[in-house]
Homo-oligomer: A and B are copies of this chain.
Amino acid sequence: MPDRALGVALIGTGFMGKCHALAWRTVSAVFGGAHPRLEILADVSEESAGRFAGQFGFARATADWQAAVTDPVVDVVSITAPNGLHRPMAEAALLAGKHVWLEKPMALTLEDAEAMAALAAAHPGQVTMLGYNYLRSPAFQAALAMVRRGEIGRLLAFRGVYDEDYSADPGLPWSWRMTHREGGLGALGDLGCHLVSQMLALMGPVRALTAQTQIAMPERPSPEGMKRVENEDSALALLTFASGAQGSFATSRVARGRKCRLQWELHGAEGTIVFDQENMNELLVHRAGEAGFVRHLTGPDQPDFAAFCPAPGHNFGFNEQKVIEARDLLAAIAGGPNVGPDFAKGLEIERIIHAMARSNGQRMVLMDEEG
């Protein structure tokens, strides 16, 4: 953990903006180390920026994000603005010499993501981190540790889904988020990338994939009448991993009743692990010889849980994942290894979701030809 207090700028005050703010406020109380200085909050208006700076405890407020990311008191920038702003904000921050904590997905297009990764590579002294918070949950970390210790043997298969229902209502109005130009990918960009981030951590690189996408509701109402939806409501894929293991993948934003069903199972030669983010405090694990699946509750035997609470079965929360992410970011800034995903690793995630978006079931895409 860093000895020196880092100056923080936060851009954005919505869902993820507040989540970053809470993480910055608590990371050192939970894990130790110098408390970050909450220096500048940037938002769309002076009024809103001022109001949230007070609430979140930032010293100053601004409606000028460029000023925020270049201010000398700032060491690290949290970017939680809409996806279309990710590239300009991240590039400005990198060029200003700042470390960057950027929400997913990296960018609207693969080209943008490639440019960002290239710029990050050109600034090796600055840490980049993408907000794949589900990688931090104690249950996920426990699953990953089981896999790495070989507890379920050679990996045979991955089966993963990430479903929500935020677009399931056919009456949901059309929005710019449903266009390629302003919204980028659909379910793959919002949800699928999270599932890819966990899949890569668990299974290693993807060798090939075949996918198909679906726009379940091709038109949405708008004040000007029905308008066309351009990006996918759902996507399905088959995968072959470099290891020889195989996998299936599904994501949907129109799955009625699903709220945060980031669910997967791993089949190993010696066992199976099952996870569902809607019950993020448990893993179901079966190992050869056991009578059935064992329900593992999160608890202080998981190191990152222990920092929050010494008692098992006392549920860890979604927001607390972000505190662990902040800890990982600070550790990398302090000179430790960057567990990522940094922009290079984020680009690998982007390549996979964009390959899925292009595949459309007609052919297998070989990932090593995708770079």
Contact = CB atoms under 8 A, between A and B. Distances in A.
A248 B246 contact: no
A131 to B, nearest CB: 14
Given A256-B272, A259-B314, 20 more contacts: A21-B29, A22-B30, A25-B26, A32-B55, A152-B256, A156-B216, A156-B252, A157-B234, A157-B255, A210-B361, A216-B269, A236-B238, A259-B297, A259-B299, A259-B312, A260-B311, A280-B315, A292-B294, A292-B295, A319-B320
Task: Give the 9 A-B residue pairs with the shortest CB-CB distance, closest first.
Answer: A317-B317, A259-B313, A257-B286, A260-B313, A314-B318, A259-B312, A292-B295, A256-B272, A156-B216
A181 interface: no
Given A26-B22, A26-B26, A315-B318, A294 B294 contact: yes
Contacts of A362: 363-364
Interface in A209-249: 210-212, 214, 216-217, 234, 236-238, 240, 246-248
Contact of A279 (B19, B247, B279): B279
A56 interface: yes
A261 to B, nearest CB: 7
A270 interface: yes
Nearest to A56: B29
B292 A268 contact: no
A250 interface: yes
A271 interface: yes
Contacts of A247: 236
A65 to B, nearest CB: 21
A145 interface: no
Given A288-B169, A317-B320, A267 B252 contact: yes
Interface of A: 14-15, 18-19, 21-22, 25-26, 28-30, 32, 35, 55-57, 152, 156-157, 159, 161, 164, 168-170, 208, 210-212, 214, 216-217, 234, 236-238, 240, 246-248, 250, 252, 254-261, 267-272, 277-282, 285-288, 290-297, 299, 308-320, 361-364
B291 A294 contact: yes
Contacts of A312: 259-260
A22 B29 contact: yes
Given A25-B25, A29-B22, A309-B15, A257 B318 contact: no
